[in-house]
Structure 1
Amino acid sequence: MATIINLTDIKNSIKNIDVIAAIENGFVAYSNQQTVVPPVGELLFEDPPGDVHIKYGYIKKEEFYVIKIASGFYNNPKLGIASSQGMMLLFNQKTGQPTAILLDEGYLTDIRTAAAGAVAAKYFAPKKVNAIGILGTGIQAKLQLQFLQKNTPCKTVWVWGRTLKNAEKFKTELNNDFNVHIAKTPVEVAKHCNLIVTTTPSDTVLLTSTEIQPGTHITAVGSDTPNKQELESSILQKADLVIADSISQSKSRGEIYHAVKDGAISVKKITELGTAIQNPNLQRTNDTQITIVDLTGVAVQDIKIATAVYQHYKINNIK
């Protein structure tokens, strides 16, 4: 019988796991063709607006395969419900038997995405970060900022939200740990920050190439479906380095998808994150470069985090 792990136990396990290292190892395995990861399954909703992603796969010679269902329904906060929902399912890779059901309510998707942002900054952010810019004020915006502290301990933050109320709430919740400034526009964020993380579900461009300073790193997180886009395609054209978490996925979603479709860049300009991690020559080499890491979310992240949580839970709870 499959082990059912609830959200409280999942959060307790996460405290004892080096999630950033696990996610980094997953990206390396993915780029080294050690994984089987089919295309993303997807359901898009209009009223109310939302999307559901089904991601699944396995790492060769490891113990489990994973199926993850994660959704984002963006009007949920108005109902007092988190926008992220979902669960992860673990199966024995040799027998197909269900091993564990992780009732994470989308929490693990949020955590593994934030960890990927920390990995991106580790290899592509400038050595001296003057200020961190965050576009968006939701749970992912907060987590990205908190996970960045592992390798980028900058406390000066500029945040932009779709409403002033959301930005003020963000500032109130984080102001004890950070020096948070509220930006009136995304342009103001770009003016003050050389590390920017975009976390919104926007389907209209928020930043254009003329606003990006030399030396800026951008981790683009929000554009994970074909209709979403936060960065003008010319930003990727202007960039010295363009990195995809998955080159194959970037053909159908994300900032790279739009830039290639618009003719701003060719596929030849793109390097996969797991490949760049292994080769310093493919990483940032000076503080004048503009770098973009496009994170569309890859099943290998779910495989790594779900496996780590289950293994920790098993050791500590199953006698």
Structure 2
Amino acid sequence: MSSIINLKQIKSLLKNIDIIESMEVGFIKYSNGKTVVPPVGELLFYNPPGDVHIKYGYIKDEKYYVIKIASGFYENHKLGIPSGQGLMLLFNQKTGELESVLLDQGHLTNVRTAAAGALAVKYFGPKKINGIGIIGSGVQARMQLEYINKINSCKNVWIWARDTENAMKLKLELDNNFDVKIASSTLELAQKTNLIITTTAAQKPLLKAKDINKGTLIVAVGSDTENKQELESKILNNADLIISDSIPQSKSRGEIFKAVSSGMISNDKVIELGNAIQDVNLQRTDKNQVIVVDLTGVAVQDIMIASSVYESFIEQNIN
């Protein structure tokens, strides 16, 4: 009989899982051709603005296939509702039987995205991070810091958001664990930091190439459709390394898509994350390198996290 796992249970089960390691394994399998991941299904809404992503696939020779539906409706805060919603469906890969419904309300998508950001910092971040810049003030902004903090001890954080009131609310949430300052502009944020995480649904660039310090790592997680863009494309043109979680997806969405479309870069400049993880020569080799990691979100992440949560659920019930 199929199980239904609710959000409270999911949050408890996640405590038993090393999500960053799980994402690393998944990205390697993806780049090594061990997965079947079709193109993203997508619905875009305009009044109010929102998007729905359907991501699905399986890892060859493993137990499950997963279908994930996740949405972002960006005026939900006016209704007191989280912008992110969704669920994951986990099926038996051999029989097609539904094994579990994970009613995560978008939480697993947030977690796996944050863990991928931390993974990017692990492999491409500066040796010494002197300041972390967060562009955005939503759930993902907070969670990126939470997961980066698992692998790096930097507590010096600068926040900039289009809504200053929301930036102040995030600062209050983080003040117990970080030394948080509100930047007056993205220019100030970039000047004070050498790790920048962008987490917004912006459709016009927020960060300028001329503002970026040498040696900075930029992890862009907000642009996951063809119409979103957080980085001026010249940033990618100037970058020493450009990393994509999925080269096929980068041809239709995200910062790389925007930069290629504008003629700023060519696709052959892009390295896939799973390949770079496995080859030290494709990682940071110089302290002054500017590196951009563009994370549009790949179904293999959903497969890994849903499978891990379900296996933990089964183990807990057996014990």
Q: How does the TM-score come out when normalised to structure 1? A: 0.99
User: Residue in 2 aligned with 1:4?
Assistant: 4
User: Residue in 1 aligned with 2:67?
Assistant: 67
Matched-pair contact (CA < 8 Å) for 1:30–1:300: yes
User: Residue in 2 aligned with 1:305?
Assistant: 305
One-letter amino acid of the structure 2 residue matched with residue 266 of structure 1: S
User: Residue in 1 aligned with 2:142?
Assistant: 142
User: Residue in 1 aligned with 2:260?
Assistant: 260
Map 1:211-222 → 2, pairs under 5 A: 211-222=211-222
Task: Tell me how far apart the structure 1 counterparts of residues 152 and 135 of structure 2 sit (CA, whole Å).
Answer: 18
Task: Tell me how far apart the structure 1 counterparts of residues 241 and 195 of structure 2 sit (CA, whole Å).
Answer: 14
Aligned residues: 319
User: Residue in 2 aligned with 1:49?
Assistant: 49
Q: Secondary structure of 2:130's match?
A: coil
- Identity rate, percent: 62
How big is each residue's C-alpha offset from its partner over 1:218-243, in whole Å with a ceiling of 9 and x where there is no partner?
00000000000000111001000000
* Structure 2 gap segments, 5+ residues each: none
1:80 Cα deviation from its structure 2 partner: 1.0
Task: Tell me how far apart the structure 1 counterparts of residues 20 and 251 of structure 2 sit (CA, whole Å).
Answer: 26
Task: Tell me how far apart the structure 2 counterparts of residues 297 and 207 of structure 1 sit (CA, whole Å).
Answer: 21
Task: Tell me how far apart the structure 2 counterparts of residues 202 and 15 of structure 1 sit (CA, whole Å).
Answer: 32
One-letter amino acid of the structure 1 residue matched with residue 151 of structure 2: N
1:187 Cα deviation from its structure 2 partner: 1.2
Task: Tell me how far apart the structure 1 counterparts of residues 208 and 262 of structure 2 sit (CA, whole Å).
Answer: 14
User: Residue in 1 aligned with 2:234?
Assistant: 234
Map 1:159-170 → 2, pairs under 5 A: 159-170=159-170
Q: Secondary structure of 1:248's match?
A: helix
1:318 Cα deviation from its structure 2 partner: 5.0
How big is each residue's C-alpha offset from its partner over 1:18-53, in whole Å with a ceiling of 9 and x where there is no partner?
000001100000000000000000000001110000
User: Residue in 2 aligned with 1:91?
Assistant: 91
Q: Secondary structure of 1:72's match?
A: strand
Q: How does the TM-score come out when normalised to structure 2? A: 0.99
How big is each residue's C-alpha offset from its partner over 1:122-181, in whole Å with a ceiling of 9 and x where there is no partner?
011100001000000000000001100122210000000111110110110100100000
One-letter amino acid of the structure 2 residue matched with residue 22 of structure 1: S
User: Residue in 1 aligned with 2:152?
Assistant: 152
Q: Secondary structure of 1:237's match?
A: helix
1:209 Cα deviation from its structure 2 partner: 0.8
User: Residue in 2 aligned with 1:282?
Assistant: 282
Q: Secondary structure of 1:275's match?
A: helix
How big is each residue's C-alpha offset from its partner over 1:50-103, in whole Å with a ceiling of 9 and x where there is no partner?
000000000000000000000001111121111110000000001101000000
Task: Tell me how far apart the structure 2 counterparts of residues 287 and 142 of structure 1 sit (CA, whole Å).
Answer: 27
Task: Tell me how far apart the structure 1 counterparts of residues 318 and 224 of structure 2 sit (CA, whole Å).
Answer: 37
Map 1:105-144 → 2, pairs under 5 A: 105-144=105-144
Task: Tell me how far apart the structure 2 counterparts of residues 2 and 249 of structure 1 sit (CA, whole Å).
Answer: 32
Map 1:146-225 → 2, pairs under 5 A: 146-225=146-225
1:317 Cα deviation from its structure 2 partner: 2.2
Task: Tell me how far apart the structure 1 counterparts of residues 155 and 208 of structure 2 sit (CA, whole Å).
Answer: 25
One-letter amino acid of the structure 2 residue matched with residue 149 of structure 1: N
Q: Secondary structure of 1:100's match?
A: strand
Matched-pair contact (CA < 8 Å) for 1:43–1:52: yes
Matched-pair contact (CA < 8 Å) for 1:126–1:286: no
Task: Tell me how far apart the structure 2 counterparts of residues 311 and 243 of structure 1 sit (CA, whole Å).
Answer: 31
Q: Secondary structure of 1:187's match?
A: helix
Task: Tell me how far apart the structure 2 counterparts of residues 38 and 209 of structure 1 sit (CA, whole Å).
Answer: 33
Matched, 1:22 2:22: yes
- Quick check: 161-170 or 28-37, which moved more? 161-170
Matched-pair contact (CA < 8 Å) for 1:202–1:230: yes
Matched, 1:38 2:34: no
Task: Tell me how far apart the structure 1 counterparts of residues 164 and 32 of structure 2 sit (CA, whole Å).
Answer: 44
Matched, 1:314 2:307: no
After the TM superposition, which segments of 4 or more aligned residues of structure 1 sit over 2 Å from their partners?
A: none
One-letter amino acid of the structure 2 residue matched with residue 83 of structure 1: S
1:200 Cα deviation from its structure 2 partner: 0.2
Task: Tell me how far apart the structure 1 counterparts of residues 187 and 39 of structure 2 sit (CA, whole Å).
Answer: 35
* Structure 1 gap segments, 5+ residues each: none
Q: 1:89 to 1:318 in 2, by over 3 A?
A: farther
1:16 Cα deviation from its structure 2 partner: 1.0
Q: Secondary structure of 2:247's match?
A: coil
Root-mean-square deviation (CA, aligned residues, Å) is: 0.7
